[in-house]
Structure 1
Amino acid sequence: MTVFTVDQRDYAARAEAVAEEFTDDAYTWEGSVPWENLQRLAEKDLYCPSISEEYGGQGRSDLAALLLIEAVGRACPDTGWFTYMQSMVGPRAIDLFGSEAVKSEYLPAVTAGESFVSIAISEPQAGSDVNNMSTTVTEEDGTLVCNGEKTWVGGVPFGDAAVTWVRFPEGLGSVVIPYDDDGVEIEEVYTNMAGYAQTRFSINDVVIPDDHVLTRGKDAFKRQLISLNWERLGSSALTVAWAATALDRALAYASEREQFEQKLDEFQGIEWKIAEMYRNVETAASLIYGCAAGAQGHEEPPSRLRTSTAKLHCSQIAEEVVSEAVQVVGARAYQQGHPLEYLYRFARSRRIAAGTDEMQLNTIARALKADGLPAVSER
């Protein structure tokens, strides 16, 4: 495992201590927002650590955000998801690329644990094919106007705005669109396996103020694409957290449950399962923090090759480990309302969200074809 600094270890320990307060209500949220948990993290100067201090964050590194996501995600899967989304996704894009006006408008409420900003990328026809997006921003008499449709957007019922990927005449870019704009219409709301709403909404002649444009032009949008490397690591830290807590529950159950006059954890078959589960959790965590430790913030982020590898591996490991934990516990874990059943519904999502397994495989293969295998000195 990567050796962290004293400050990073202290930060992680503080996060673990506060997150312990969330365990009593964990696995009960079922699609509602744990606002009190988010606000508790904010009160303790833990929430949104990599967002700038002037907007309520701590101005820490993205590595600190990964440590927070894992610590919180182990205690409460819902609070972990919100921590990831608001530390590494939509609000982080605003902090990195936004104007002073749009940062001041949205970030203070987010970092206080009182607001949610979504990310809106997918479209009904384009899916994962970003280059086929049809949501456009055109210039009409000096005014920017957006039209299009987005789907699978999380957080709309309780959110305030979405960082929305769009097509400008000169290429791809991104803007911030508030949900209360008259031109935003909710077309359909789906409930996913984890119990959360995902929304399809249309954008009809929404005027985009200049200060709500985040990225425009090839070079600017390229920077946003690079920032996805950190988002992939954030998703990876979240999945490792869920896998680790599943393993912990399997260990506890196996040490107490008796069958055939001996404890479950005395059967070699169960011992091997537990050993394999730990191997998977530990190698996944090492992959994440190894990527993060070798990067220098957003100026020199981890490579797309390594972060896509981490995202792919950790997403698959999470599903596998949680599934094996269900197998260890047996029928109880298969019942609705059991923490492991709850975790499985969460874990399965990460093989689709933040880039599907197949998209990560494409990225890995293309990076290897373009650049070759990294040298030892590049690890």
Structure 2
Amino acid sequence: MKRRADNLVVFLGPSLPAEEARRLAPCTVLPPARQGDVWRALSLRPRAIALVDGVFEAQPSVWHHELLAAMEAGVAVFGGGSMGALRAAELAPHGMVGVGRIFEWYRDGAVVDDSEVALLHADAEHGFRPLTVPLVNVRHAAECAAKARVLGREAARALVEAGEAVFYQERTWARVLEGVAPRWSTATRAAWDVWFSRGVEDLKRRDALACLRTAAEWVASGAPAPRGPAQSPSSLVRRRRLVDGVTGVQDGWVSSGRVLASLREAPDAEALAEAGLRRALLAGWARTQGLHVSEAEVAEVEAGWWRQQRVPVARRGAFLARLGLDDRGLRRLCEERALERLVLAHASRLLPDGPSWDEALAAEARLNGRWAEAAREVGEDPTEGVGSGNAAE
């Protein structure tokens, strides 16, 4: 994944050739989406993502949580044609925009199984060329043939049922027609052959084009970026995103999972983890107590952090990328730090007979040896001493 910003990122495979997509609209075309790919695509800072194709069986499919995270980050997410249609039907209540007939079928419950859009296709080297026929295309062909009065109602239903009976990796038109042959008359098959020879519309391709056009039109409109509702992902999702993310380096990107693995072996790994855990636990405890911080308090923490980094405003995006962060990720960390400060500032009041600031200072200084150092410094300063034995005289 190149390090650059793009207004539109499209996940494509067998539904539409990448070259055709680029001719239709300026976009970055990525292969069919796997789990984690949408999270990684957010590093490109797109205004919109068009999800068309995604993997099904060989690798984990694109996760709902990453699409929700994209929408929460203000990225418009469109889906249609294949996996995109399925995910759009599932996430439409959360703001994902579905496009096309296949999406409508899933949304309305006309089809429910993800195998409806599954097919066998070639690899990236061969342009993800489809090798079998998806069931949605069989359904569409049956509808079109019925409208053209090539097939009657029963013959059209028989065609769809013949398609359903063939495993998606083996579903070719030859196999489907072989399966329906016993249920069609000779006249029906002859009429079909003439009609079919003129070409049958590829519904997945049509919907992929519609999805891409809709996303491109939205980008071109300059409409303000949507903002999805804030999510509260589980610890499993948070860990998965951490491992699946990317971090910017001088020549591109590296896996955040690899960065994390390196940090685990660092001499100060335990100290870093304990500091992070303390902040997260204090912030989490504060939330359970109904405490919150204002936007101004979070902004104050963030401004202070930026002052410490001494990074010019124009370079802040690249700086965050090198930390594996974006604006919203930084804000979450600053909110945690603000909650931590709130708890520490009022520690003596948050528990019955709670600890004072001086007690905490003394306890930590004694544990790490700083108390002894301070005492020695005091003893060496004659203006600070209390005098040996004076109190007993």
Instruction: Report which of the two structures shows the higher radius of gyration computed on alpha carbons.
Output: 2
Considering the TM-score relative to the shorter chain, is it more than 0.5? no
Name the TM-score, length of structure 2 as normaliser: 0.24
Q: Which has the higher strand share?
A: 1
- What TM-score results when the alignment is normalised by the length of structure 1? 0.25
